Amino acid sequence: MRNTLILIAAGGSALLLAGAFVFQFFGYLPCEMCLWQRWPHAAAALIGVLALTVPHRIWPWLGAVAAAITSGIGFFHAGVEKGWWPGPTSC
């Protein structure tokens, strides 16, 4: 059960990251905040691989931190898109 949950979480981050690259390939250039969100997703995917190959109690916690970080960036990004607060000037 533990490995299944790790695969779902890490696989979800890997698929989201792959989707972002597919959109970029088709000409949808990412803004600065989109690029920020890629890093925690990449970290979560890597942490998932490590959790499956090098068992340790810390991996699920680090994966949760990566998910929380990308969720926070996503919330901030959505607020910028909705005009709730200002974002980076490059976006």
Q: Which is it for the CA torsion 76, 82, 85, 90, positive or negative?
A: positive
- The low-confidence residues of the chain, meaning pLDDT below 70, are none
Predicted confidence at residue 1, as pLDDT, reads 85
In-domain check, residue 91: no
User: Is residue 87 a part of any domain in this protein?
Assistant: no
pTM of the model: 0.87
| Total domains present in the chain | 1
Check residue 70 and give its pLDDT.
94
Q: Which domain holds residue 19?
A: 2-82
Q: Is residue 13 part of a domain?
A: yes
Domain-embedded: residue 88: no
User: Is residue 60 situated within a structural domain?
Assistant: yes
Question: Residue 55: its pLDDT value, please?
Answer: 87
Q: Is residue 89 part of a domain?
A: no
On whether residue 90 sits in a domain, the answer given is: no
Q: Pull the structure tokens for residue 11.
A: 């696989």
